Chains A and B, each alone.
Chain A
Amino acid sequence: MGIEQKAGDMGIITTTLEQVVGFARTNSMWPVLFGLACCALEMMAAQAANYDLSRFGMELNRASPRQSDLMIVAGRVSQKMAPVLRHLYDQMPDPKWVIAMGDCASCGGIFNNYAIVQGVDEVVPVDIYVAGCPPRPEGLIHGIITLHEKVKQEKLTRWS
């Protein structure tokens, strides 16, 4: 029993602000292009017609960090790329999230050597780690949906 019954057929629904904002954030989450290695091909496959990330409101991979909310780090990050990655992350407007896609971005993967950053969490704060070498598009989509769940849980008091 809520206002729906009292208001009748007036096209009004009631909800909380948190839910509306969570709905908006998760259903238009634009990722910044950050394909670095073979994981990028799986990310492209997830974008393409078979897996179709547009179903989750992600049809746009923005080439500009200023227009995006989500950074999918797809591939190994070299020591020389790390400052660039941090720079792009700093340019993204708040609120922003990061998915470390694949083993290399999560923990260095098979590249335990001088050239590769051992996990992108040394450079930017990571929300979701997707395992796999590379993860299949289903794996990436699962990571994205898990992130959606996380974003929907965010409380009004934690918004900055």
Chain B
Amino acid sequence: MKILFVAVSTLFISMQAFSQDSLKTQTEHKKSRFWHNSETGFSVGNANYFSNGFHFQTINGFRVYKNAYLGLATGLDMYRDATLLPVLLHARWDFLPEKKISPYIGVSGGRTLGLTKMDNIYSLKGGFTGEISTGFKVNRGNGTGYTFSLGYRYQKFQEKWNIGGERTTDYGLNRFVIRTGFFF
């Protein structure tokens, strides 16, 4: 419920941002080539060992070609008992960048940092995270718009418990990530 609230709130705030006209013109954007995309959603899957979770991601980067973007993605992957901070390289290809609706595909790869810690008892160590995604963006015409995407994310991390011995559990999560957000 809390996760749902955070997700909806984030989406609401992002849409509010777009309800105002951007200060930057489309031309200015194209000149700057700077690109930002924030999205929020859920990571879901079989969840046989680890819960489904809330997902937030923000990508900042550059348009390197008329269809291609490169950026650094970070955010939060919040599961019931653990929170991870991903730091990923992201590449995206827009199929129809000049159209109102443009499908795209993306790929991300990097590592996560474990943020959950409990004194000397519990610690979380991040690991490799990779994702392929597809989605579409809705251009509003001023260099801004909305994005909707679905991705498959593989995420490795390790939990370490220290109670009566050391117990390390290595997870490899296979999850779909469903998200929406905005870009400019």
Note whether A and B form a binding pair. no
B interface residues (Cβ-Cβ under 8 A, vs A): none
A interface residues (Cβ-Cβ under 8 A, vs B): none
